[in-house]
Amino acid sequence: MDTQVIIVGAGPVGLTLAIDLGRRGVHCILLEQKDAPQFLPKMERCNARTMEIYRRLGIAQKIRDAGFPRDAPMDVFIVTSLIEPPLLHLPYPSVAQAQVEIAACTDGSMPLEPYQLISQYTLEPLLKSVAETLPSVDVRYGCEFISFEQDDSGVRAHVKRGTATSELSAQYLVGCDGGSSNVRRQLGIKLQGEANLLQLRQALYRCDDLFERIPIGKGRHYHVADAHSTFLIVQDSTRHFTLHSVLDSDEEMKTMFEQTVAMPVTYEMLSCAPWRQNLLLADSYGEGRVFLAGDAVHLVIPTGGLGMNSGVGDAVDLAWKLAATLQGWGGPRLLSSYGIERRQIGARNVEASRHASRGRRAWRAAYKPNIRDKTPDGAATRASLARIADVEQRKSNEMIGAELGYRYEDSPIIWPEAGDAPEPNFMKYEPTSWPGARLPHVWLSDGTALHDRVGDGYTLLRLAGAQAESTALAHAFARYRAPFAVLDIDEDRPRDVYGYDLLLLRPDLHVVWRGSQLPDPNRLAALATGH
């Protein structure tokens, strides 16, 4: 075969998948129809969980260096314009401030990495440059994926480059090709949910001095209280801005930008295009040897920033399972667990996006045309909108529970545990080691993060001097040739946070099993590896 995995689509999800596969030694070809990454605004924030993932891939600092300045505040404003007193100001820490808070946190309630504002047109070239350094990754831009066939032995993809069409063969194919996914359509998989909820225009502007001149305070989002759902987003360079608004023409977008800024500035509108809000989830995340990830399987409203970040979660879940299967130690249930695990998170994040979007619609519904009037009625409108927004806008900006608190339920590769599992909460993160959950971040006494001590295979954590014999479990994993290590942490803090002496972790830092005495080691190893 030409390669082991063909990836269709070189957005952040496809590139992350290629990087994770490449660092695991899996050979893959990444196909992208465009000739090069495009300077177009899409996503603009890597959330905390995504930055933890990028830390494990060894690229978190590169992303921070390329993104929004670490000392710039991440505040959110609701305004009538950038020069009038804000109706509401929600302060959020800069990356530097968040890192200080995380360094002082000892109870597992904060992520290892804070969020990072970085525009997709900055992130994509960065990820591309990383992927191209990996010997087993072949990045091919200017290659249009046409179609595929699959059978029990592999997948054959038909690819067009220029006027020539060729065929590539691989053992697996992954469609990371966006909301209008050609791969998904060929599989006959449908999207279900709410489509075309609202159509807006999005324009990208360059305005070199605007950020420094904003008189009401620096931040990242400026929501305009108007009849057009207008909001202004500061991009990572602080010289570029995107404006979203329900308007009919590009020319109106220029006028709206000027009205929102409300002071003389020199600017250039670089692009403008309509986009639609959708809340959609695919019926399935793949079929046979073909899988789907990212926007190909879930389309969310950007409220809460869960779109691209959900796709990165898809990529890292699928990467280690593909690698395990190709390397011969992954059992038949390993790859089938991908759709079981990630589709439930897709459904959860669609609902979280709906939750945040309803919040935003709630405060926007309080808008009245008299909002600027210097009258008692105008003051009442401003006060009412601000009061509602102080509750409802937070649903877009404070969904740490959705970012960190997701848990894989009823997965064939997670040990079932009796009892009442933690209730999901979009807005609040309660650290838990319940099987299926992400391992909470804990600092060790030497200042290192426990996450950083965990390798890329399965890890048995033995905490606070636990003496459990691990030889039989090591032998059980060895029978499958699965990577396995024991990590002894003789400190009280992790034991206090996790609540158990022993935890079995899988390569993506999710908990497989926890307890004080190991169960049947053969059964545990077989379940964890998909056998």
CA gap 494, 454 in Å, rounded: 13
pTM for the model: 0.97
Q: What is the secondary structure of 223-283 as a DSSP string?
A: EE-SSS--EEEE-TTSSEEEEEE--S-HHHHHHHHHHHH-S----EEEEEEEEEEEEEEES
Predicted local confidence at residue 190, as pLDDT: 98
What residue segments make up the domains of the chain, in order of their start? Answer: 5-69+114-192+279-353, 412-528
Predicted local confidence at residue 41, as pLDDT: 85
Chain centroid, CA 215 distance in Å: 33
- The single-letter code of the amino acid at 416 is P
Question: Check: CATH 2.60.40.10 for 5-69+114-192+279-353?
Answer: no
CA gap 512, 407 in Å, rounded: 11
Predicted local confidence at residue 514, as pLDDT: 98
Is it true that 5-69+114-192+279-353 and 412-528 share their CATH fold? no
Predicted local confidence at residue 124, as pLDDT: 97
Q: How big is the CA angle at 405 (ends 222 and 441), to the nearest 5 degrees?
A: 100
Q: Using alpha carbons, list the distances in angstroms from residue 416 to 342, 470, 514, 515.
A: 18, 21, 10, 12
- Return the CATH architecture of domain 412-528: 3-Layer(aba) Sandwich (3.40)
Residues of the chain with pLDDT under 50: none
Predicted local confidence at residue 477, as pLDDT: 98
Predicted local confidence at residue 93, as pLDDT: 97
DSSP E strand boundaries for 283-387: 286-287, 290-292, 298-299
324's enclosing H/E stretch is: helix 307-326
Predicted local confidence at residue 439, as pLDDT: 98
What is the phi/psi pair of residue 391, to 5°? -95, -50
Token pair, residue 125, equals 């070239």
What is the phi/psi pair of residue 370, to 5°? -85, 15
Predicted local confidence at residue 400, as pLDDT: 96
Predicted local confidence at residue 304, as pLDDT: 87
Greatest distance between any 2 Cα atoms in the chain: 78
Predicted local confidence at residue 518, as pLDDT: 96
Yes or no: say if 528 and 337 are a contact pair by the CB < 8 Å rule. Answer: no
